[in-house]
């Protein structure tokens, strides 16, 4: 959009709102009166903002409650929760509600989805876990997050466990790679737990690290597609005997990326040696990478960006902030929820998202504004279903006969990347092929907007909605209905100008009765306020 179009747009909005005699639109979204004390996080963020002349404002209560539910749990707040929060007069209410949302079961569902993207939990193509194994892996991930298992323990279980892919969830870490060989496993460990891409490593480093997986074996059982992942100290000799690799004379030595060398003597599973090296408070990658990931999940951008691309020539934008998060994470014994709580309680995460293009350009990488991001495919369809009270059909064609999922299941809670729907595919659900954070694309394309604006799929959900019918009863007045509808869809009350606009649409007489509210809900679902985290 060029400058001319911007001014036309602004003029149009101003004309509609009647800017002179009314509060500015941004008053809906930010609250300049809020001025809580700086947290430790803010103490490391604000010094960067002062030279830029930016004095961040905090988001309004209505924005806060919606953002909290979406960011921490991947769901919309119910209209009742939104109203309860707005009515809450406790001065400390934001901190109280943060704890409340972090305890919700949807927290585990949502972050299990995120981890399942990274760990590639998918029955078939291009990663082939097979449905039973995908379910077992997802169940273990979700249960770990629900119990807030310390991150070091979470990773150790994946790295060192032996057993059946159907019965022991974490062993599927080694099966969920496209190349099931030592280099493939080393590449996955480097990416997921060290946040580094082996493409940027010097050539010998991958070979040195891969050595720890040369005794890892996978064998079938008599059950169809069941496999046992186990330590087989004799494997290198067997591979050599069958001509699979040249016999290496002398001791077998693995070299970790920091130069640490260990001799593999066959008396201990080398994966345990790897875990002992990686999972320590002093390892330069382990805690830092996870702390940075959580930050990037909540703030839309890593302090090291992208969060899985740590390397010397990609330094953190705010080293003091990253070091603080790392130290807190280690001091609290790898408690992931503690990191969430720290960040969500900061002013920084609660910043307003309202900003001009100039301000955004000036403030890039400083976290001066909360970043607007389109809701992920799964979160978006769950939100639409929640608003309309409808459900969705999810199926997997693998294997035949096809898998069908109970209709009450949310998209976020789907355990297996092969279980899907056309909507999820259209809106950029990742293929779970690489484990890269950037595999998921939330950038809109016109076909998605066509679907939202004009598909029978969305229209049907609105028209058939019992939730809307219950609110838009013929005997109720327009402002009453509008209040309930706005709380339901946008988690806030409508402003007076907004109610006037709805009344004007009714006056126009294009549609009547229930269709009036169908059109209004349709319009609200298509606003950027609904579609974006803001």
Partner 1 sequence: MTANRAFPDPRDGISRREALRRTGVGAAALMAGAARADAPAAPPAATARSVIQVFLWGGMSHSDTWDPKPDAGYDYTGTFNKAIKTNVDGILLSDLFPMLAKQADKFSLIRGMTHGNNGHETAAYLMQTGHMPGERLAYPAIGAVFALFKGYQAGYKGLIPPYVVLTRPQGRFSESGFLGSKFKPFATGGDPNAPRFEVEGVVARGITDQRQAARRDLLNEMNVLAGATPDHPELAHSRECREQAYNLILGEGKDVFDLSKEDPKLRDRYGRHTFGQSCLVARRLVEAGVPYVTINYPGGWDTHSNHFATMSRQCPQLDQGLATLLQDLHDRGLLESTIVWCCGEFGRTPKVDWQPPWNGGRNHFGKVFTVLVAGGGFKGGRVVGATDDKGEEIKERPVYPIDLLGSIYRLAGIDPDAKLPHPLGYDARVLASTEAGAKTAGLLTEIM
Closer to partner 1 by CB, 260 or 454: give it. Answer: 454
Write down the least CB distance from residue 10 to partner 1, Å.
Answer: 5
Using CA atoms, how far residue 456 sits from 408, 449, 481, 491, 495, in Å, is 21, 13, 25, 25, 30
**Residue 121 contacts by C-beta under 8 Å, 6 or more apart in sequence?**
129, 134, 137, 138, 141, 172, 176, 415, 416, 417, 432
**Cβ burial 262-287 (10 Å sphere, 16+ → b, else e):** bebeeeebbbebbbebbbeeebebbb
Indicate the SS3 state at residue 168.
coil
Q: Are 501 and 16 in contact (CB under 8 A)?
A: yes
Least distance from partner 1 to the Cβ atom of residue 437, Å? 11
Minimum gap (Å) between residue 484 Cβ and partner 1: 16
> Which of residues 10 and 470 has its CB atom nearest to partner 1 in the complex?
10
DSSP three-state, residue 7: helix
| CB contact at 8 A, 212 and 163 | no
Between residues 431 and 469, which has the closer beta carbon with respect to partner 1? 431
Residue pair 389/465 in contact (Cβ under 8 Å)? The answer is yes
Q: Supply the minimum distance, in Å, between the C-beta of residue 383 and partner 1.
A: 15
Residue 323 or 519 having the CB closest to partner 1: 519
Beta carbon nearer to partner 1, 168 or 520: 520
CB of 88 to partner 1, least distance (A): 24
Between residues 140 and 185, which has the closer beta carbon with respect to partner 1?
185
DSSP strands (E only) in 267-409: 373-374, 395-396, 403-404
* Nearest to partner 1 of 239, 523 (CB atom): 523
Closest CB 7 distance from partner 1, rounded Å? 9
Smallest separation (angstroms) from partner 1 to the CB of 247:
26
Degrees, nearest 5: CA angle 8-12-16: 170
């Amino acid at each position: 959009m060029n400058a001319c179009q911007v001014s036309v747009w602004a003029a149009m909005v101003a004309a509609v709102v009647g800017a002179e005699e009314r509060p500015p639109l941004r008053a809906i979204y930010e609250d300049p009166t809020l001025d809580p004390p700086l947290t430790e996080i803010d103490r490391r963020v604000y010094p960067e903002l002062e030279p830029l002349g930016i004095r961040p404002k905090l988001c309004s209560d209505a924005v806060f409650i919606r953002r909290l539910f979406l960011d921490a749990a991947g769901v919309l707040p119910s209209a009742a929760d939104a109203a309860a929060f707005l009515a809450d007069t406790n001065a400390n209410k934001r901190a109280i509600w943060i704890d409340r949302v972090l305890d919700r079961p949807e927290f585990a569902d949502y972050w299990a989805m995120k981890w399942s993207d990274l760990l590639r939990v998918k029955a078939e193509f291009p990663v082939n876990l097979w449905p039973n194994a995908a379910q077992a892996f997802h169940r273990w991930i979700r249960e770990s997050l629900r119990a807030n298992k310390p991150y070091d323990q979470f990773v150790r279980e994946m790295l060192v466990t032996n057993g059946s892919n159907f019965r022991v969830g974490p062993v599927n870490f080694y099966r969920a790679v496209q190349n099931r060989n030592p280099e493939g496993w080393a590449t996955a460990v480097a990416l997921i737990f060290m946040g580094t891409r082996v493409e940027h490593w010097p050539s010998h480093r991958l070979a040195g690290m891969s050595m720890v997986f040369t005794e890892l074996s996978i064998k079938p059982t008599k059950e169809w597609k069941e496999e046992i992942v186990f330590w087989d100290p004799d494997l290198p000799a067997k591979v050599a005997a069958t001509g699979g690799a040249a016999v290496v004379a002398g001791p077998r030595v693995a070299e970790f990326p920091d130069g640490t060398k260990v001799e593999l003597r066959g008396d201990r599973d080398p994966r345990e040696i790897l875990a002992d090296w990686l999972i320590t408070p002093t390892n330069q990658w382990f805690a830092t990478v996870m702390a940075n990931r959580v930050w990037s999940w909540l703030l839309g951008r890593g302090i090291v960006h992208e969060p899985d691309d740590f390397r010397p020539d990609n330094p953190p934008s705010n080293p003091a902030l990253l070091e603080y998060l790392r130290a807190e994470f280690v001091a609290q014994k790898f408690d992931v929820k503690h990191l969430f709580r720290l960040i969500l309680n900061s002013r920084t995460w609660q910043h307003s998202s309202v900003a001009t293009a100039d301000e955004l350009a000036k403030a890039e990488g400083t976290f001066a504004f909360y970043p607007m991001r389109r809701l992920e495919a799964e979160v978006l369809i769950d939100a639409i279903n929640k608003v309309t009270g409808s459900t969705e059909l999810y199926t997997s064609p693998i294997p035949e006969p096809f898998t069908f999922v109970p209709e009450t299941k949310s998209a976020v809670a789907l355990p297996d990347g092969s279980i899907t729907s056309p909507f999820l595919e259209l809106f950029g659900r990742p293929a779970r092929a690489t484990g890269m954070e950037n595999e998921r694309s939330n950038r809109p394309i016109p076909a998605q907007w066509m679907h939202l604006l004009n598909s029978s799929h969305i229209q049907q959900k609105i028209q058939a909605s019992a939730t809307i019918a219950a609110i838009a009863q013929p005997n109720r007045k327009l402002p009453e209905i509008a209040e309930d509808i706005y709380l339901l869809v946008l988690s806030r009350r409508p402003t007076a100008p907004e109610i006037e606009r709805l009344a004007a649409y009714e006056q126009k007489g294009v549609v009547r009765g229930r269709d009036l509210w169908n059109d209004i809900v349709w319009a609200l679902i298509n606003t950027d306020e609904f579609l974006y985290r803001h």
